[in-house]
Amino acid sequence: MEYFPVFLDLKNRLCLLVGGGDIATRKGRLLSKAGARLRVVAPDISSELRELVALHHGELHEREYQTSDLDDCVIAIAATDIETLNEHISTDAKARNLPVNVVDSPALCTYITPAIIDRSPLVIAISSGGESPVLARLIRAKLETLIPTSYGRLAQIASSWRDRVKARFDDGDSRRRFWEKILQGPAAELALNGQDAAAEHVIATEIAKEDQTITQGEVYLVGGGPGDPELLTLRALRLMQQADVVLYDRLVSEGVMELVRRDAERIYVGKRRSEHAMQQENINQLLVDLAKEGKRVLRLKGGDPFIFGRGGEEIELLAQNNIPFQVVPGITAASGCSAYAGIPLTHRDYAQSVRFVTGHLKSDNTNLQWPELANPTQTLVFYMGLVGLKEICESLIRHGRSPQTPVALIEKGTTQEQRVLIADLLSIADVVAANDVHAPTLFIVGEVVKLHDSLKWFNPAH
């Protein structure tokens, strides 16, 4: 995050605007909408900017900028086309620890002005950190079409009931659930359709209900996919945004975690070889305990929760305790990582079947059905096979798979750190040892790996 977003209360507060042309006028409009008093300094000032100054009883100074113009101001904006003057204003403001914005000069700014969607009191700000203002404006245009102007009226109605809701519900969780019910239910629909009185009647009825006790919670078992947050399902994203507490694994990417509701409690329960933040039995019981407290619990796993994710073990205990739960599939690593590496798992010319295999068994070995796995007409995908890679390759060769069988080791697939190592069964262990590879990885064995060079399309930034 290059900039920390904040919203300033500028009502009746003095703001310095240096410049009198079109750019300064646009800045003046925004400041005026926020109720600011404008102190405009420029030799020539547009007629519209003059009117904006008069609207909130501001100040007009038709002359060159002086350092004293910063006196009593809470922010400063330099909107001139004179580079040396803009630098002067920026230096003066910084010396006073006064927030300053210099139009189209991010290096001189201590704050930037975002693209804004105004549904007052609901305000949405979009920023590219000054790197691409045009992109921020394009995104704003897209959102403008998705967010009706009536959302502002809905926010006003909610605000008018805020104190009464706070008095009715003692704790934050109860209040949040009440508002989620209101803002996603009939009251919201009525308000968005202009039926304010009917909407307020629904809110009043809900508040008056005697039974406001917290009901039993629910568990959402959600697959977070292989890493790229854009691979999440819409349902997964919706549940991630409404959960009260999140239990997440090591394989859940940072980008996916960024989409979890900000104020949700987060509990790390990740596991790696010989290092468990929490034993599986304790995770299972914690899901039950939290749900019985009335929490909406998100169990967020990398990939798909039912493919080597132990999701089945977790919901077994939930079912035994009559805890409601939902399961949301995720794109498993085999599908996601192979696609991003340009390796189709099946192909008419190379492989007529594919098998997903765990490279790390409960007994901590790789004692698998090797004669079946050695079939050359199938693709093998090994999960958690990095530590046992050499043993896997030797076992396949020993049971008849050709040492020259193409293989791929994919590290951190679908992310900007993705790396794909191509070799054969005989040499891959040495290639991995020479390249300092770290989990998470996926190991693909089969003739389909030959297609990587011609079909690779994903080009990470590194």
Tokens at 351, concatenated: 């492989």
Architecture of domain 218-331: 3-Layer(aba) Sandwich (3.40)
Q: Which residue has the tokens 């307020």?
A: 200
Whether the Cβ atoms of residue 438 and residue 361 lie closer than 8 Å to each other: no
Nearest to 12 by CA among 46, 44, 58: 58
pLDDT at 292: 92
**What are the binding residues for NAD(+)?**
22-23, 43-44
Domain residue ranges in the chain: 14-113, 150-208, 218-331, 334-455
- Which class for 395: exposed (0-12), middle (13-18), buried (19 or more C-beta within 10 A)? middle
Q: Which residues are annotated as a binding site?
A: 22-23, 43-44, 226, 302-304, 307, 332-333, 384, 413
Q: Are 425 and 447 in contact (CB under 8 A)?
A: no
The DSSP call for residue 423 is E
- Distance (Å, rounded) from C-alpha 446 to C-alpha 424? 9
Distance between CA atoms of 245 and 299, rounded to whole angstroms? 9
The CATH number for 334-455, chosen from 3.40.50.10790, 3.20.20.150, 1.20.1280.290, 3.30.950.10, is: 3.30.950.10
Q: Which residues are catalytic?
A: 249, 271
Amino acid at position 370, single letter: W
Which residues are known binding-site members for S-adenosyl-L-methionine? Answer: 226, 302-304, 307, 332-333, 384, 413
Question: pLDDT tens track of the chain, all 462 residues?
Answer: 788 899 999 999 999 999 999 999 999 999 999 999 999 999 999 999 999 999 889 999 999 999 999 999 999 999 999 999 999 999 999 999 999 999 989 899 999 888 899 998 999 999 988 788 889 989 999 888 888 888 899 999 999 999 999 999 888 878 888 898 898 888 888 888 889 999 999 999 988 886 655 567 899 999 999 999 999 999 999 899 889 999 999 999 999 999 999 889 999 998 766 566 789 999 999 999 999 998 899 999 999 999 998 899 999 999 999 999 999 999 999 999 999 999 999 999 999 999 999 886 555 556 788 999 999 999 999 998 899 999 999 999 999 999 999 999 999 999 999 999 999 999 999 999 999 999 999 999 999 999 999 999 998 876
Angle between helices 196-208 and 150-160 (to 10 degrees): 40
Taken in order 283, 285, 289, 295, the sign of the CA dihedral is: positive
The DSSP element (H or E) to which 113 belongs, if any, is none
State which amino acid sits at residue 156.
Q
Q: What is the pLDDT of residue 307?
A: 93
The rounded distance, in Å, linking the Cα atoms of 311 and 283 is: 11
Residue pair 240/260 in contact (Cβ under 8 Å)? The answer is yes
Residues in contact with 221: Cβ distance below 8 Å, sequence separation at least 6, in sequence order:
299, 301, 305, 311, 314, 315, 325, 326, 327, 328
CB 59 within 8 A of CB 40: yes
Q: Count the Cβ atoms, other than its own, within 10 Å of residue 145.
A: 7
pLDDT at 130: 79
Task: State the pLDDT at residue 418.
Answer: 96
CATH of 14-113 among 1.10.10.10, 3.10.129.10, 3.40.50.720, 2.60.40.420: 3.40.50.720
CATH fold group of domain 150-208:
Helicase, Ruva Protein; domain 3 (1.10.8)
3-state helix, strand and coil shares in percent for the chain, rounded to the nearest 5: 40, 20, 40
Q: Which two tokens stand for residue 313?
A: 């073990």
DSSP letter (8 states) at residue 417: T
